[in-house]
Amino acid sequence: MDPVRNPYSPGAGRQPAALVGRDAPRSSWRVALERIERGRSSQPFVLYGLRGVGKTVLLSNFRRAAAERGWITAQVEAGAGKSLRESLGETLHAPLADLARPSAGRRLLIALRTALSFKASYDANGIWNFGLEAASAPGGGADTGVLETDLRKLVHDLAAAAEEEGVGLAILIDEAQDLAEEELVAICAIAHAAAQDEWRVLFAFAGLPSLPRVLAEAKSYAERFLYERIEELHGDAASEALTDPAASENVRWEPSAVKLIVEESAGYPYFLQQFGQDTWNAALEAAITYDDARVGAAAGRATLDNGFFRARWDRATPSEKNYLRAMADDGDAGSSSGTIAARLGRKPASFGPLRANLIAKGLVYAPEHGIVAFTVPGMAGFIARQPSTD
Ligand SMILES: Nc1ncnc2c1ncn2[C@@H]1O[C@H](COP(=O)(O)OP(=O)(O)OP(=O)(O)O)[C@@H](O)[C@H]1O
Ligand SMILES: [Mg+2]
């Protein structure tokens, strides 16, 4: 069928035509926004799960829900080559520029001045100009160089400005497992202070399944955060991820075709989008058949092998690939470091640096101490399909 009308969207962070199966966290987030608007507090949200399950899409949905209520929002991705200080600072410029106006209230003027000092803390040359005389207002001081101090001042003053405006401040951090230790500690401490003192701010973090442990190790009160495991889609939600986008294009799926793709994708959102896209392209008529789905699944598997999986595999060095092969014997469930080392005929400790590199590359994570698992569902199967010379 016409690829121009294809409603499926495989790809990191790409908003699906139908965001299904996430009603519970979306409604909790709405409740948290309303609580904060009424001067109550909420603990930070933590979305964690494997690659491709839809964490970024949900985090962006959270951000939009806040923005639609007029909130000041900042969504950043950790580990993308910038420090948290710089990425947060730069992301805040646009929403603050939108708020700045001659009639700005006292707290907003203070916040703008604090934001200017925060900017100066990482960029001595870049000058922001909000187009008003903020110089005479108090504020500033978010440039001591100590991250926790500066960030606390910034978040506090912005939250106070948000309150003055009758809204709130939402700070959303994706790939949060990649925050530096100092950044994690600072952000957890600030989130804790904010919840205690009822600042008008709401935090959300998204990241790999190791994120809850990483947060708990940074600060013990991170245990009180609201943890939401984001998983593959089950039952009707998985089917709707296929049928809803088609229905809005007046295209129908035969139930047997839906069943096949749901099974082939194991309900993983990324795979549903990929197989959905390929099945649509294979179909000739506005009713998608079982045969179309078979063709689509085969094409989708090839696309994933050549892209989604291949891109990760190619990131590994030859000795890392050997390690990953030894892991793949256990399937996707995870392996004990001791067992892998035994398979490779060496002591577990000798693999420490290699394992750390694989974690830094985002290929594996440690669900618990002494265990490693793939971050991507289906990676073990992909590795098993690779020739041993690759
Ligand atoms: N609830 C959903 N319903 C349907 N499709 C979804 C849903 N959530 C995500 N998707 C689709 O799944 C794919 C992956 O989404 P996303 O990039 O948000 O995953 P992720 O968990 O952030 O992955 P990564 O760990 O690689 O960053 C995208 O193609 C997106 O359109
Ligand atoms: Mg993501």
Residue 357 belongs to domain with CATH number:
1.10.10.10
**DSSP symbol at 53:** S
Ligand 1 in reach of 222 Cβ (< 6 A): no
Return the pLDDT at 354: 96
155 with 206, same domain: the answer is yes
292 with 341, same domain: the answer is no
Mean pLDDT of 231-253: 97
Q: What's the 268 CA to ligand 1 centre distance in angstroms?
A: 8
18 within some domain: no
368 with 240, same domain: the answer is no
127 with 270, same domain: the answer is no
Q: How far apart are CA 21 and CA 31, in angstroms?
A: 18
374 with 250, same domain: the answer is no
Ligand 1 in reach of 267 Cβ (< 6 A): no
200 with 331, same domain: the answer is no
3-state secondary structure 218-264: HCHHHHHCEEEECCCCCHHHHHHHHHHHHHCCCCEECHHHHHHHHHH
9 within some domain: no
Please check the confidence at residue 309 and state whether its pLDDT lies above 90: yes
Q: What's the 41 CA to ligand 1 centre distance in angstroms?
A: 29
Return the pLDDT at 130: 79
Return the pLDDT at 135: 58
175 within some domain: yes
Q: Where are the alpha helices (DSSP H) in the chain?
A: 23-37, 55-68, 84-99, 106-122, 147-164, 181-197, 211-218, 235-247, 255-265, 269-282, 290-304, 310-313, 318-328, 337-343, 352-360, 379-385
- pLDDT-above-90 percentage for the chain: 85
Please check the confidence at residue 320 and state whether its pLDDT lies above 80: yes
Which pLDDT band, with edges at 50, 70 and 90, does 136 fall under?
A: low
Burial class (CB within 10 angstroms; exposed 0-12, middle 13-18, buried 19+) of 191: buried
Q: What is the pLDDT of residues 341-377, one digit of tens each?
A: 999 999 989 999 999 999 989 899 998 889 999 999 9
Q: What's the 11 CA to ligand 2 centre distance in angstroms?
A: 10
Ligand 1 in reach of 363 Cβ (< 6 A): no
14 within some domain: no
Q: Considering 289, 312, 335, which residue would you say is the last residue of a domain?
A: 312
Which comes out higher in pLDDT, residue 48 or 104?
Answer: 48
Q: What is the pLDDT of residues 26-72, one digit of tens each?
A: 999 999 999 999 999 999 999 999 999 999 999 999 999 999 999 99
Shortest-distance atom of ligand 1 to CA 175: 27
Residue 173 belongs to domain with CATH number:
3.40.50.300
Q: What's the 185 CA to ligand 1 centre distance in angstroms?
A: 28
Q: Considering 312, 341, 363, which residue would you say is the last residue of a domain?
A: 312
The greatest distance separating any two alpha carbons of the chain, rounded to the nearest whole angstrom, comes to 71
Shortest-distance atom of ligand 1 to CA 375: 25
**DSSP symbol at 209:** T
107 within some domain: yes
Among 273, 303, 308, say which to mutate for ligand 1: greatest number of ligand atoms within 8 Å of CB: 273
Return the pLDDT at 191: 94
Angle CA(310)–CA(234)–CA(47) in degrees, nearest 5? Answer: 70
Q: Considering 166, 198, 229, which residue would you say is the last residue of a domain?
A: 229
Q: Do residues 261 and 296 make contact, with C-beta atoms less than 8 angstroms apart? A: yes
Ligand 1 in reach of 269 Cβ (< 6 A): yes
Q: How far apart are CA 341 and CA 349, in angstroms?
A: 9
112 within some domain: yes
Residue closest via CA to ligand 1's atom 8 equals 54
Among all bound ligands, the one having the nearest atom to the CA of 13 is: 1
Q: How do strand 335-336 and strand 45-48 relate by DSSP bridges?
A: unpaired
3 within some domain: no
Among all bound ligands, the one having the nearest atom to the CA of 53 is: 1
Ligand 1 in reach of 270 Cβ (< 6 A): yes
328 within some domain: yes
Q: What is the domain range of residue 327?
A: 317-385
Please check the confidence at residue 195 and state whether its pLDDT lies above 80: yes
117 with 191, same domain: the answer is yes
What's the chain's length in residues? Answer: 390
Which pLDDT band, with edges at 50, 70 and 90, does 390 fall under?
A: low
Ligand 1 in reach of 241 Cβ (< 6 A): yes
| Number of structural domains in the chain | 3
206 with 355, same domain: the answer is no
Q: How far apart are CA 367 and CA 383, in angstroms?
A: 20
> How far, in whole angstroms, is CA 17 from its chain's centroid?
18
Shortest-distance atom of ligand 1 to CA 208: 25
99 with 201, same domain: the answer is yes
138 with 215, same domain: the answer is yes
Q: How far apart are CA 73 and CA 96, in angstroms?
A: 10
81 with 147, same domain: the answer is yes
116 with 46, same domain: the answer is yes
Ligand 1 in reach of 26 Cβ (< 6 A): no
Residues in Cβ contact with 355 at an 8 Å cutoff, skipping those fewer than 6 apart: 323, 337, 364, 372
Please check the confidence at residue 384 and state whether its pLDDT lies above 70: yes
